[in-house]
Amino acid sequence: MFTLEDCKKRLKLTWIPFFARFPDLTPVQKEAIPLILGGQNMVISAPLASGKTEAVCAPLIEDLIQRGINDFSILYVVPTKALVNDLFGRLREPLEYLGLHLERKTGDHPEVSLRRPSFLLITTPESLDSLLSRNPSFFKTVKAIILDDLHLIDGTYRGDQLKILLERIRLLRGGGENLRYYILSATLPDPRSFGKRYIEHFKTIEIPPERDIEFYLVPSTDYRAWEEVSRDWISKGFKKILVFCHTKKEAENVASLLKRNLPYLEPILVHHGSLSRKKREENEEALKKGKTGVCIATTTLEVGIDIGDVDAVILDGPPHSVSSLLQRLGRGSRRRDVIYGYGLYRSAVSRALFEILVELAQNLELEKREALFDLSVIIQQIFSYLHQKRRIGTSLWAISRLFRPSGVEELTIIKILDNLLERGYILKNNSNLYFTGDRIQRLIDYGGIHTNIPNEAQGEYEVVNQLNNEVLGHIERVIPQFILAGRYWEVAYILKRRVFVREIRVPSSFLYKKAPFDSHSRLYVDFSTGCKVKTHVFKGYVKDSEIPFIQKEDFFLLFHFLGLLYGEILKLALERGRNLKIKNVDGLFFIIEHANELEIHRLGKIPIEDLVSILKSRAKGLSQLIQPGRFFHLLPHDIQWTEFLRQIRLYEFHEFLSEVKFKKVHEEFITRFI
């Protein structure tokens, strides 16, 4: 076993800045440090706050310094700007101690020094794409790549973009020799399969969670639930609390609710993506340095940003996956043997989803994502790579080889290139070399070719405090009075896309007692998870393959629990060729009019051809529910259609429906559970 004394002897330069303040090494550090000093590529799966960053950075930096290397050597990639800022703050002091230059690159911090390159650069996939496309020679000296919190984007278009960026860097350096890789992630169901999607030839380290989860479920209809929860955490001596909401609007509303009804909880802070960078960082710093406080956030604080020692986490409504639950709960109780969490629910459905997710988390049964490449990323990477080769152009062979490790066939690449040529997005000269076309010049100018994230910022207004010209954040539409950053504002005047506001007292329209939440009752899950929720709600009375329904005087209620997307598909299928009027309520149940009981029992027999026809006619609307990448619409139509069916898991869903039986139950049975 690698001991503290071994660490002191082998990390002669990095021991003091990285480990001297700790009484001992963590389990992941004891396993990882000797392997990294031995030159091994690593995939490390360990809980939050287990010391993964130090476990990799210290021995890697030690090895590079001992070999006399001090140019740009380490590329550190993380999913979010907030995590970039956090790591920058954590690594700045150790690297300054060692006399090494550290930089970060994000949309908020876009500049990097090309004349004096940093030893270590921290960035996001999108900012990495920008730097690689515009200054490719910058990466010729890189010796190691660290991919942190990769589980947050694995199986998404952002994860697939990162795969191609890694291949571009490898090819730029003439191959992967002498390039080392380290993947760091929270607890994974299968670290080896996970790692193979990104790198080759590596060892794995798995550290299981050692802390128990103590989770309290609290029914919530108004502010009194928050009174109950706050009394409980105060009785336990908790001082700093982190609250997660599903949306920005809900976060602002919760903050308003607490400030109005429970002012003794001050300071009450807000953190979400529509706040300005300055305001977000101010709130992070206030929570980190303050001894007490409540911070209401969206997913922006789900990742490992250093906000100090949070005592407990409150989830205002269940998250949509086990991974997200563990990620959020892991933000609290870092110095305790037990993770404390509270779940606020408003229905039997949200309670059931909480119970299922907590049970799966305690048993470490994590969801497995299908490892199929998102073809819309090909469009984005073609644009980015052509911009990298803007002076000399590039060939079909050069473009195709970028995607071979991801299993994309050359015929698919040819189809996509031909479609882009026909639509004027790219050009081809007489030597069969490809270049960017005029139609994407605007995207190039503002950096839009470097991201697959749909452009949600279009139409947003920048909000400015009229008193001091401080930028507060952004809103999607202008209304006379609104909440932002947990404060109340009134519009003074509008100048182009800038809204100048003045702070006001709480207007009467905000003096509510009940929490105006939007998404608690809606089921944002796929059909397989929804089936688990249904079986859990009706435990012992309804089988996985059964859908209960009740008959009212002139309509039926059918409790499908398939979620918003699959509930909508089933609704369209059931209406097809039948004189039925069906309303899909929150992805939970149907209200069916103009039907009889015999028709209800026959509803499950839906031919696959009917589902295909429905999806073809409603593909544009339904595709928004699967959140396709920014360039999905530029794929050839036949590839769009194939990709849409794959992402929607059509044949799996049809197989599920073929087993479904409808079970009539009494109304008392339903009201007993819901």
Q: Which stretches within 1-113 are classed as H helix? A: 4-10, 15-19, 27-37, 52-66, 81-97
Please give the Cα distance from 227 to 5 (Å, whole number).
50
pLDDT digit string, tens, across residues 541-583: 888 888 888 888 888 888 888 888 888 888 888 888 788 888 8
On whether both 661 and 551 belong to a single domain, the answer is yes
| pTM as predicted | 0.84
Do residues 151 and 323 lie in contact, with contact meaning Cβ atoms separated by under 8 Å?
Answer: yes
One domain, residues 540 and 605:
yes
Task: Single out the residue in 206, 221, 237 at which a domain terminates.
Answer: 206
d(CA 361, CA 213): 9
Tell me, yes or no, whether 646 and 538 share the same domain: yes
CA distance 387 to 379: 13
CA-CA distance, 463 to 489, in Å (whole number)? 10
Confirm whether 578 is domain-assigned. yes
Compute the distance between CA of residue 233 and CA of residue 219 in angstroms, rounded to an integer. Answer: 16
- For residue 342, give both structure tokens: 């509270």
Q: Tell me, what's the pLDDT at 333?
A: 64
424: left (phi over 0), alpha (psi -120 to 50) or beta: left
Dist CA 44 CA 401 (whole Å): 29
pLDDT of residue 457: 46
Same domain, 149 and 37: yes
Count how many domains the chain has.
4
Residue 534's pLDDT is what?
83
Expressed as residue numbers, the domain containing 545 is: 527-673
CA distances from 152 to 101, 137, 159, 549 (A): 28, 29, 9, 38
Q: Mention every residue, 6+ apart, whose C-beta is less than 8 A from residue 140.
A: 172, 173
Please spell the DSSP secondary structure of 342-399, one letter per residue.
Answer: EEEESSHHHHHHHHHHHHHHHTT----------THHHHHHHHHHHHHTTTT-B-HHHH
Write phi, then psi, for 279 (nearest 5 degrees): -70, -40
Q: How far apart are CA 357 and CA 609, in angstroms?
A: 35
Q: Would you say residue 316 lies in a domain? A: yes
Q: How far apart are CA 432 and CA 393, in angstroms?
A: 9
Residue with tokens 């890694």: 166
Assigned domain for 637 exists? yes
User: Do 41 and 169 reside in the same domain of the chain?
Assistant: yes
Contact between 311 and 287 (Cβ < 8 Å): no
Nearest residue to 347 (alpha-carbon basis) of 22, 671, 18: 671
Domain boundary among 206, 240, 269: 206
| Residues 352 and 381 both lie in one domain | no
Distance between CA 328 and CA 341 in Å, rounded? 9
Give the C-alpha separation, 230 to 4, whole Å. Answer: 41
The conformational region for residue 168 under phi > 0 = left, psi -120 to 50 = alpha, else beta, is: alpha
pLDDT digits (tens, 9 = 90+) for 71-101: 899 999 999 887 888 899 899 999 999 999 9
- Which residue has tokens 């000797």? 34
Q: Residues 6 or more apart from 204 whose CB is under 8 A from it?
A: 42, 43, 44, 45, 191, 192, 195
Does 158 share its domain with 54?
yes
Of the residues 206, 228, 261, the one at which a domain ends = 206
Q: Which long-range contacts (CB under 8 A, 24 or more apart) does 477-482 make?
A: 481/507, 481/509
- The Cα 4–Cα 565 span in angstroms is 53
Torsion-angle region of residue 586: left (phi > 0), alpha (psi -120 to 50) or beta? Answer: left
| Tokens coding 493 | 């005047």
| Pairing label, strands 589-593, 581-585 | antiparallel
The residues, ordered by sequence, that sit 6+ positions from 151 with a Cβ below 8 Å of its Cβ are 185, 186, 188, 194, 323
Which residue positions in the chain have pLDDT lower than 50?
457-458, 508-520
* Pairing of β 180-185 and β 203-206: unpaired
CATH code of 287's domain: 3.40.50.300
CA dihedral for 36, 40, 41, 42, sign (positive or negative): negative
For residue 460, being part of any structural domain is answered with no
DSSP letter for 114, please. Answer: S
Contact 120, 376 (CB under 8 A): no
* Domain-located, residue 142: yes
By DSSP bridging, strand 293-297 and strand 581-585 are: unpaired
Are 431 and 553 part of one and the same domain? no
CATH number of the domain residue 416 falls in: 1.10.10
Query: Among 189, 532, 586, which residue's Cα sits nearest to residue 356?
Result: 532
Report the amino acid identity of residue 25: L
d(CA 518, CA 533): 20
Q: Is 156 left (phi over 0), alpha (psi -120 to 50) or beta?
A: beta
Residue 419 lies in a domain: yes
Cα–Cα distance list, 505 to 155, 279, 508, 637 (Å):
46, 20, 9, 53
Looking at residue 672, its pLDDT comes to: 60
Q: Are 13 and 161 contained in the same domain?
A: yes
Residues 52, 129, single domain; the answer is yes
Q: SS3 sequence, 186-235?
A: CCCCCHHHHHHCCCCCCEEEECCCCCEEEEEEEECCECHHHHHHHHHHHH
Both 219 and 286 in one domain: the answer is yes
* φ/ψ bin of 380: left (φ > 0), alpha (ψ from -120 to 50), beta (otherwise): alpha
Whether residue 221 sits in one domain with residue 186: no
Query: Does residue 639 lie within any of the structural domains?
Result: yes
Please give the structure tokens belonging to residue 29. 């550090």
- Partners of residue 556 on adjacent β-strands: 551, 592
Tokens representing residue 469 in the block: 């010209």
| Any domain includes 492 | no
- ∠ at Cα 626 (620, 629), nearest 5°? 85
Distance CA 256, CA 247 (A): 14
